[in-house]
């Protein structure tokens, strides 16, 4: 079942990067929660439901002149999948560039993602999923 979880998350991430949210929605549970990135500006925030999750990612994308999220690795952690990301962003108007390596932990239940948590620190993400670097 965990390899199936990896494939579900891979589809969500790939569709999200392309902006194809209608293709990701069937893989999100009705009560999916997106938790703000630990160590980031949104830490402590929570978005609930596939519509709020979609809206968050669309607004985040609109805040940048350029944003690239490259999924480098999908790591099977049973009911969780850790996605290691390389992020590049260029600020709208300011032109300021940010490049960093981050991670997201997706919790999957009954073939649907029920929780997403971002991490600025990859080691913390692995630890949260019960793994170590």
**pLDDT at residue 1, rounded to an integer:** 52
In the predicted model, what is the mean pLDDT of the chain?
Answer: 91
Count of Cβ atoms closer than 10 Å to residue 122 Cβ:
17
Domains of the chain by range and CATH? 2-126 (3.10.450.50)
**pLDDT at residue 133, rounded to an integer:** 61
CA distance 130 to 71: 20
Q: In terms of Cα–Cα distance, which of 68, 82, 58 is closest to 5?
A: 82
CA distance 75 to 57: 22
Q: What is the mean pLDDT of residues 7-15?
A: 92
pLDDT tens per residue across span 47-66: 999 888 888 887 877 778 88
pLDDT tens per residue across span 80-90: 999 999 999 99
Q: What is the mean pLDDT of residues 79-100?
A: 94
DSSP letters of 60-114?
HHHTEEEEEEEEEEEEEETTEEEEEEEEEEEETTT--EEEEEEEEEEEEETTEEE
- Give 70's contacts (C-beta < 8 A, 6+ positions apart): 85, 86, 87, 88
pLDDT tens per residue across span 104-115: 999 999 999 999
**pLDDT at residue 81, rounded to an integer:** 98
């Amino acid at each position: 079942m965990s390899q199936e979880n990896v494939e579900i998350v891979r589809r969500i991430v790939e569709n999200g990067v392309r902006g194809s949210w209608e293709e990701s929605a069937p893989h999100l549970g009705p009560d999916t929660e997106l938790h703000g990135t630990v160590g980031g500006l949104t830490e402590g925030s929570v978005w609930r439901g596939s519509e709020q999750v979609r809206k968050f990612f669309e607004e985040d994308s609109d805040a940048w002149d350029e944003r690239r999220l490259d999924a480098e690795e999908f790591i099977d952690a049973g009911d969780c999948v850790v996605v290691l990301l390389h992020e590049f962003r260029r600020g709208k108007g300011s032109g300021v560039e940010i490049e960093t390596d981050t991670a997201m932990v997706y919790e999957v239940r009954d073939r649907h993602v029920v929780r997403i948590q971002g991490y600025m620190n990859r080691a913390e993400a692995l630890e949260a999923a019960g793994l170590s670097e």
